[in-house]
Amino acid sequence: MGGSEGTGVGGFRIARIEAAAYRVPADPPVRTAFGTMHDRPGVVVRVEDGEGNHGWGEIFCNWPPPGAEHRARLVRDVLAPLATGRDFDHPSQPGAWLEQRTRVLVLQCDEPGPFAQAIAGIDGACWDLAARRAGLPLAVALGGAVRPVPAYASGINPDRPERMAAAKRAEGYGGFKLKVGFGRDRDVDNLAAMRAELGPDARLMADANQAWSLEETRAMLPELARFALHWLEEPVMADTPLEAWRTLGAAAPMRLAAGENMRSRSEFSAAIASGAFGVVQPDAIKWGGVTGCAAVGREIVAAGLDYCPHFLSGGIGLMASAHILAAVGGPGMLEVDGNENQLRTFLAQPFPALADGFFRLTDAPGIGVEPDLARLEAARRPL
Catalytic residue among 90, 177, 230, 310: 310
Per the residue annotation, which of 54, 90, 179, 286 is the catalytic one? 179
**Rounded distance, CA 164 to CA 155, Å?**
10
* Closest to 233 (Cα-Cα) out of 328, 316, 335: 335
**For the CA atoms of 191, 195, 196, 202, what is the dihedral angle to 10 degrees?**
160
Q: Is 179 a catalytic residue?
A: yes
Taking alpha carbons only, the member of 84, 88, 61 closest to residue 73 is: 61
Catalytic residues: 179, 310
